[in-house]
Amino acid sequence: MFDVIVVGLGGVGSATCYALAKKGLKVLGIDQHQPPHGFGSSHGDTRIIRKSYFEHPSYVPLLKSAYSLWQEIESRSQTQLYYPTGLLEIGPGDGDVIQGILRSAAEHHLPIDKWSMQKAQERYPGIGGDPNWQAVFERDAGYLLVEKCIATYLSQAEQLGATLRYHQKMISWAGESHGVQVRLQHETIHAKKLVLCAGPWAQQSLAKYDLPLKVLRKHMYWYQCDTQDYLQSHGFPCFFFDTPDGYFYGFPEHGTYGLKVARHSGGTPVEQVDGTHNRDQEDQQLVEKFLSQYLPNVLGPQANPSALTRWSGCYYTMTPDENFIVDRLPDYPQVVVIAGLSGHGFKFTSVLGEIASHLAMETDCGLDIDFLGINRYSTSKGFAP
């Protein structure tokens, strides 16, 4: 019998299998596809990682731990996953983003540089923005190679003895007096514990609880630039802008496709999560409007959208307060749930894997995760708060 079954081997599940296998447990990982794949939430080359978290200072201790766990897997696998480009964050000085960064940095003594727009433009001539806005530069930030992170965690988990099964879909699960049973198409498997990390399919894996999760379709765009302004090799960083049209972010030009940019705000609610996406003209227009206003040399003076080299769709799984769900199920404590990463979870997957392993083993992870508890979403069909 397995100690733990992990369902979903994307960002969270791959790291969870590794963390459990490292602790010597007998682990079975199951995925309906073969990760890394392009059907869920963990594809498209890159994910930003940053520490002065504008969303809430409570995430900072988790991030500190996430950074050291990324270092650990890099050195164990001898693979570079993290690229420390720095992150330039720009917006109104009294806006949620700049205020949130300053609050997290102050509370946790994090090093940041505060610049006027003029200073930011002297440093990075390719950027624009309201001259009254403020810029913050986070040196200790950059990006992770998303697919490579998952592939690395899975291969390291296997080397540590985890059994991984691909193209196997969990049809249902049920709690038993001393464990769980997981029903696949052709068999039922028993284990002591279950970790559910199904990403945008979380709602289906937890159907009976009717959690208020909303899946949004999001889009990523790559543009080849006619200038050296945005090259990573010339020191251009990752960027995040708080604009009147919403939040936009992206990555310096590197690799084959050029500069990557996307809209963090917005998104289209979807009912059917099947990994197929349609282009969204309105979203692309907003992204290109953002580029012409704030990174004007990407499209050039002709505002040339044919510089687009690649596009991809992806899913955010949103909770109402946009904080994750990281907990055991109150009515089945042998079942751990990591869900609702709300479009900002990849940077945490190293530490979420570690936390999931502690929740499964009922040991103390040493981090405050009370603010991510599932009881804040007790539902008509679910458990008492």
Ligand X SMILES: Cc1cc2nc3c(=O)[nH]c(=O)nc-3n(C[C@H](O)[C@H](O)[C@H](O)COP(=O)(O)OP(=O)(O)OC[C@H]3O[C@@H](n4cnc5c(N)ncnc54)[C@H](O)[C@@H]3O)c2cc1C
List the catalytic residues. Answer: 43, 46-47, 260, 264, 314, 347
CA 237: distance to chain centroid?
19
Residue nearest ligand X, Cβ-based: 10
Binding string, 191-230, against ligand X, x = CB under 6 A?
Answer: ------xxxxx---x------------x-x----------
Pairing of strands 188-196, 2-7: parallel
Closest CB 116 distance from ligand X, rounded Å: 26
Closest CB 361 distance from ligand X, rounded Å: 20
Interacting stretch for ligand X, rule CB under 6 A, among 59-67, 282-290, 337-345, 357-365? 337-345
Q: Based on CB atoms, which residue is closest to ligand X, 150 or 361? A: 150
- Binding of residue 47 to ligand X (CB under 6 A): yes
Contact 124, 229 (CB under 8 A): yes
CA 255: distance to chain centroid?
21
Binding test (CB under 6 A) with ligand X, winner from 8, 86, 126, 250? 8
| Residue 149 to residue 162: CA distance in whole angstroms | 17
- Binding of residue 179 to ligand X (CB under 6 A): no
Q: CA distances (Å), 326 to each of 42, 53, 147, 153, 267, in order?
A: 18, 18, 23, 20, 24
Interacting stretch for ligand X, rule CB under 6 A, among 1-9, 58-66, 77-85, 329-337? 1-9
- Binding of residue 9 to ligand X (CB under 6 A): yes
Q: Based on CB atoms, which residue is closest to ligand X, 230 or 324? A: 324
- Residue 303: how many other CB atoms lie within 10 Å: 13
Binding test (CB under 6 A) with ligand X, winner from 32, 52, 104, 297? 32
| Residue 103 to residue 105: CA distance in whole angstroms | 5
Q: Give the three-state DSSP class for 97.
A: helix
Contact 142, 86 (CB under 8 A): yes
- Binding of residue 263 to ligand X (CB under 6 A): no
Cα–Cα nearest to 173, from 183, 187, 188, 186: 183
User: Where does this chain bind ligand X (CB under 6 A)?
Assistant: 7-13, 30-33, 35, 40-42, 44, 47-48, 169-170, 197-201, 205, 218, 220, 262, 314-316, 341, 343-347
